[in-house]
Amino acid sequence: MDMQAKKKLGLKEKYAHMTRGLGWETTYQPMDKVFPYDKFEGIKIHDWEKWEDPFRLTMDAYWKYQAEKERKLYAILDAFAQNNGHLGVTDARYLNAIKLFISGVSPLEYMAHRGFAHVGRQMRGVGPRVACQMQSLDELRHVQTQIHTVSNYNKFYNGMHQFRHQHDRMWYLSVPKSFFDDAFTAGPFEYMIAIGFSFEYVLTNLLFVPFMSGAAYNGDMATVTFGFSAQSDEARHMTLGLECIKFMLEQDPDNLPIVQRWIDKWAWRGIRVLTLVAMMMDYMLPKRVMSWREAWEIYFEQNGTALFNDLARYGIKMPDCVAQAIADKDHISHQAWATFYQYGAATAFHTWMPTDEEMDWLSAKYPNSFDQYYRPRFTHWREEAEKGNRFYNKTLPMLCQTCQIPMLFTEPGDPTKICYRESDYNGEKYHFCSDHCKHIFDHEPEKYVQSWLPVHQIYQGSCFPEGTDPTVEGFDPLKAVLDWYKVDFGRDNLDFEGSEDQKNFAAWRGMATKNA
Amino acid sequence: MSTVFIAFQTNEDTRPIIEAILADNPNAVLDEQPAMVKINAEGRLVIKRESIEERIGRAFDLQEMQINLITLSGHIDEDDDQFTLAWNN
């Protein structure tokens, strides 16, 4: 037999075959009716063939490597379950970071799946459509693997059992939820900037890299594995976001101001959501790899500067909000933790005050802020708790109309004064946590007046279980709201000290290391 | 000049990849973190298929890196023989 194998196609050729020549000009219906959403934002595209996907992963390679990632992850999850891996974490306080993760972040992965499926359908160019569809599959994998991983903790600990129900209702979960809803309800190009650039490039590197490395440091092999497994896809997603920006800018000079505005908006939206990650890193990891400030400097300041230097040739400038974010890096994690501590009766996770040793670490990492502004307050709260007066704030805070975070941030340059901004629109007054959130609102007030703000909704009576009568004597509104959230009072919430999680973890770990 | 980086999970699959990167890129700086190895380089970083194959003694497809990749930064240029990260500034 004289069979000669033909030389295999190179990677670039293979990828070109997969992503080019698949589309066609429709004739039964005009193209603008088949793809109704890719022009209204004002982005001008002259040649979709100029799209260059940086990762040339063909479908056969995609399935092969994704399957291998899954096998690795599930092998670790099996070992984790068989070996009572949950008892290997440093300290049961750590579990509260996982509670925040499953309720705040994992549902966003599902929204990303839906969003990219939608955008993949709406872009008329074949290259971005293929890339978006692959990302859509990745995101579905992320939410599934995260739920499977965390289910191993949910068997033993409180606060995770209603993560999906709470994502749509809980006051602090409206922060990440509204970020995604904002992106999802924008046009396809803005969505690509919001998620492909801001969420993937700005947020996930900070969430999945130093935080997950921290999970490993705290003995949580299950979480670090799904985290790194997800992040290996994010490397592709980040480059997709970056490619989309370059593509828009190269297609038409008129796209520049639109893209710059989106970058400015979404950089700030992302930075505000990162407040939760900042707090997780500085307060919720009992063993710390690096402070929030250090992670921010590496992944945002250095890496972000490199990116913006690169985009400068298109005329893109570093967003103005970054200057404030840099000044804020000394404060946001402490201000957020102080807020959650006060509202610890209305959370589905436990809160606590740091130990002396932890406060010393915080002052070493935050020499310009911690001892001066936060240690005195935290020491006071701890002393009060020791005397039996654990402080729970029972009033409801005012929320920012744009980012939905309670008004907890301080004035730029004055960490002793809460920052308030306001705008009037159609005879109503709207409140903001910062100049940047106000600017975002002022540009699209029709959108943000519709925000579902948890505190407003509570006052309007929208957050009580069906059939609740708030006029009966002795009505306890906080209890009714927690019932509606499905927070199991006394088990899911309140201080870590004295919690069921704390007692169970100590008892079970004792059983694991001693003969009872 | 701006820094590019790439990070991998710490395991036996990535050890030869990291060795190859360090050998091929004199400007590369190793940063070992819990469960992860990050390599930083000023300007540019090249990962060569041949250098990895020399170390592992078998054929290697550069896309196998996907399995253990955590993150990266910079523009990517990827073909069958090498994977390059660089900033255009």
* Cβ neighbours for A9, distance < 8 A, ≥ 6 positions apart: A17
**Residues A174-182, mean pLDDT to the nearest whole number:** 97
Measured in angstroms, the CA of B1 and the nearest CA of chain A are apart by 8
Task: Give A392-411 pLDDT, tens digit per residue.
Answer: 998 899 999 999 999 999 99
Is the pLDDT score of A203 beyond 90? no
Task: Give the range of the structural domain holding residue A336, as residue numbers without chain letter.
Answer: 48-466+475-513
- CATH (domain of A212): 1.10.620.20
Contact A464, A319 (CB under 8 A): no
Indicate yes or no: CB of A242 within 8 angstroms of CB of B5: no
- pLDDT at residue A2, as a whole number: 57
pLDDT value for A361:
97
| Interface-testing mutation among B3, B31, B39, B66, with chain A (most A C-beta atoms within 10 A) | B66
Residues A298, A313: Cα–Cα separation, whole Å = 23
Q: What is the pLDDT of residue A353?
A: 98
> CA angle, A249 as apex, A443 and A272 as ends, to 5°?
45
Q: Give the residue from chain B lying closest to A58, CA to CA.
A: B63
Q: Which ranges of A83-125 does DSSP label H, i.e. alpha helix?
A: 95-104, 106-122
Q: Which chain B residues touch A216 with a CB distance below 8 Å?
A: 34-36
User: Could you report the per-residue pLDDT of B22-53, keeping only the tens digit for each?
Assistant: 999 999 999 998 889 999 999 999 999 999 99
Domain-embedded: residue A303: yes
Give the pLDDT score at A4. 60
In the three-class reduction of DSSP (H, G, I as helix; E, B as strand; rest coil), residue A393 is classed as coil
Query: Please, which pLDDT band fits residue A3 given cuts at 50, 70 and 90?
Result: low
Q: How confident is the model at residue A199 (pLDDT cuts 50, 70, 90)?
A: confident
Q: Which of the listed ranges A23-27, A213-217, A270-274 does the model predict with the highest average pLDDT? A: A270-274
CATH number at residue B56: 3.90.56.10
Using CB atoms within 10 A of its CB, is residue A226 exposed (0-12), middle (13-18) or buried (19+)? buried
B87–A310 CB contact, under 8 Å: yes
**Rounded distance, CA A478 to CA A498, Å?**
21
**pLDDT tens-digit series, residues A291-325:** 999 999 988 898 888 889 989 999 999 999 999 99
Inter-residue contact A134 to A62 (CB < 8 Å): yes
Rounded to the nearest angstrom, the minimum Cα separation between A142 and chain B is 14
pLDDT for position A213: 85
- HSE toward the beta carbon, residue A137, CA cutoff 13 A: 11
User: What size, in residues, is chain A?
Assistant: 516
Residue in A59, A68, A229, A239 to test binding to B, most B beta-carbons within 10 Å: A239
- Determine whether the interchain pair A234/B71 forms a contact, defined as Cβ–Cβ distance below 8 Å: yes
Give me the helices (H) in A347-412, please: 356-365, 375-386
Residue B38: closest C-alpha in chain A: A209
- CA distance, residue B74 to nearest chain A CA (Å): 8
- Report CB contact under 8 Å: A208, B35: no
Q: Which residues of chain A lie closer than 8 angstroms to B68, CB-CB?
A: 232
pLDDT digits (tens, 9 = 90+) for A439-460: 999 999 999 999 999 999 999 9
Examine the pLDDT at A501 and tell me if it is beyond 70.
yes
CB contact under 8 A, B76 and A54: yes
Which residues of A have a CB under 8 Å from any CB of B?
A: 10-12, 54-57, 61, 65, 68-69, 72, 205, 208-210, 212-214, 216-217, 224, 228, 231-232, 234-235, 238-239, 242, 289, 302-303, 305-307, 309-310, 312-313
Higher pLDDT, A168 or A22: A168
Q: In which domain, by residue range, is B49 found?
A: 3-86
Q: How many domains does chain B have?
A: 1
What digits encode the pLDDT tens for the residues A455-479? Answer: 999 999 999 999 999 999 999 998 9
What was the pLDDT predicted at A421?
98
Average pLDDT over every residue of A166-195: 96
Q: Which of A114, A115, A136, A132 lies closest to A123, judged by CA?
A: A132
Residue A1 has pLDDT above 70, yes or no: no
Percent of chain A with pLDDT over 70: 98
Overall number of domains in chain A: 1
Distance of alpha carbon A341 from the chain centroid: 20
- For A236-280, write each residue's pLDDT tens digit: 888 888 889 999 999 999 999 999 999 999 999 999 999 999 999
Q: Which of A297, A283, A305 has the alpha carbon at shortest distance from A359?
A: A283
Q: What number is the average pLDDT over the span A476-487?
A: 94
Secondary structure class of B30 (helix, strand, coil): strand
Distance from B7 to chain A by nearest Cα, in Å?
9
Q: Euclidean distance between the first and final Cα of chain A, in Å?
A: 73
Q: Give the SS3 label for residue A432.
A: strand
Question: What are the DSSP calls for A229-264, one per residue?
Answer: HHHHHHHHHHHHHHHHHHHHHHH-TTHHHHHHHHHH
Q: Is A489 helix (H, G, I), strand (E, B) or coil?
A: coil
Instruction: Kindly report the average pLDDT of chain A as a whole number.
Output: 92
Which residues on A lie below 8 Å from B72 (Cβ)?
A: 235, 238
Q: Which residues of A54-81 are buried (b: 16+ CB within 10 A; e: fewer)?
A: bbbbbeebbebbbeebeebbeebbeebe
pLDDT of B1 over the 90 cut: no
Answer whether B89 sits within 8 Å of A61, measured CB to CB: no
ipTM: 0.85
In chain B, which residues have their Cβ closer than 8 Å to the Cβ of A310? 2, 75, 87-89
Question: Which residue of B lies nearest to A10 if distances are taken between CA atoms?
Answer: B80
Question: Above 70 in pLDDT, residue A7?
Answer: no
Query: pLDDT band at A68, cuts 50/70/90?
Result: very high
Contact A193, A264 (CB under 8 A): no
Q: pLDDT-derived band of residue A494, with 50, 70 and 90 as boundaries?
A: very high
pLDDT beyond 70 at A134: yes
Q: What is the pLDDT of residue A205?
A: 81
Evaluate the CA torsion angle A30, A34, A37, A41 in order and state its sign.
Answer: negative
- Residue A53: what pLDDT? 78
CB within 8 Å: A235 and B77: no
In a domain, A37, yes or no: no
CA distance A69 to chain B (A): 6
* Rounded mean pLDDT, B66-73: 89
Which pLDDT does position A237 carry in this prediction? Answer: 85
pTM of the model: 0.93
Give the whole-number percent of chain A exceeding pLDDT 90. 74
Nearest CB to A231; choose among B2, B67, B71? B71
Among A65, A242, A289, the residue to mutate for chain B (most B Cβ within 10 A): A65
Instruction: Give per-residue pLDDT as tens, A332-348.
Output: 999 999 999 999 999 99
Mean pLDDT score, A47-57: 83
C-beta atoms of B66 and A232 within 8 A = yes
User: What is the amino acid identity at position A281?
Assistant: M
Name the amino acid, one letter, at A495.
D
With respect to residue A359, please indicate whether it lies within any of the assigned structural domains: yes
Closest Cα in chain B to A312: B89
Contact B16, B52 (CB under 8 A): yes
